Amino acid sequence: MDDVLSRLLDKAWGRFQETPSDTRFLIAIAGIPGSGKTTLSKRLTAALNARHAAHSPTDPPIAAFVPMDGYHHTRAQLDAMPDPATAHARRGAEFTFDGEGFVQLVKRLKEPLTIDSTTVFAPSFDHATKDPKENDIAIEPTHRIVVLEGNYLLLPHPPWSHAHPLFSLTIFVSVPTSLARTRLAARHVAAGLAATLAEGDRRAVENDLPNGAEVTRLLRREAVDEVVESTEDGGWAGL
């Protein structure tokens, strides 16, 4: 296991052990587009479930992963904005997300767990329809740990800042701009958003990287528990 991932796993697991049994442990992982935060989130979720299984092999998984992508505004909602063309072109910018909806999810997840607690559902993002898919991610009462991931989770202004006190561990994934740019160009081609790498690169430069620059500019590092850097080999380095 990557040394940084191993350290994050140990830190998260240690803090989780100190969490009351009726309270979920929420991990927020943020970073600019192309930083590898989704990869880190998935691997940390899997590692947490593996550690739990080692201690309690008959129990269901203890950790769930919830990306922020499901809180994109729909294309219909973008059409209804004052400048639809700009809204569609800038999809992925902060104003094209339902931040209030995301915060409401975090608040629900932080409600005390009881014998009567039921499944909490979150939306996912359907890349085929290019719109959110409602109630597609199930967070069961047995999911005591939830790994939340997205660009804007740690922004210092509302609505995002209203979720910050509810997070149990916060992680920011840094990345060199050149590496993020390369990843984003390839990602846009793979997702069918661009026909060529040149077109994908233009989309990254005109939309993703400016969004990322704003995230980095606003980040208050003293308010983040861990900052790690994504590396070219797909791993992470400590900062």
Angle at which helix 3-17 crosses helix 37-55, to 10 degrees, equals: 60
Q: Work out the average pLDDT over 8-18.
A: 97
Q: Tokens for 58, please give them.
A: 């008959």
Q: What is the pLDDT of residues 72-123, one digit of tens each?
A: 999 999 999 999 999 999 999 999 999 999 999 999 999 999 999 999 999 9
In whole angstroms, what is the distance from residue 32 CA to residue 10 CA? 25
Helical residues (DSSP H) of 73-196, grouped into ranges = 75-79, 84-89, 99-109, 177-190
pLDDT band at 35 (very low <50, low <70, confident <90, very high): very high
Given a contact cutoff of 8 angstroms between Cβ atoms, the answer to whether 44 and 83 are in contact is no
Q: How many domains does the chain have?
A: 1
Question: What is the residue range of 192's domain?
Answer: 3-238
Helical residues (DSSP H) of the chain, grouped into ranges = 3-17, 37-55, 75-79, 84-89, 99-109, 177-190, 197-203, 209-218
Q: Tokens for 168, please give them.
A: 């149990």
Given a contact cutoff of 8 angstroms between Cβ atoms, the answer to whether 26 and 110 are in contact is yes
pLDDT band at 1 (very low <50, low <70, confident <90, very high): low
Whether this prediction's pTM lies above 0.75 is answered by yes
pLDDT at residue 128, as a whole number: 85
Q: Domain of 109: which CATH number? A: 3.40.50.300
Torsion angle of C-alpha atoms 148, 154, 159, 161, degrees rounded to 10? 110
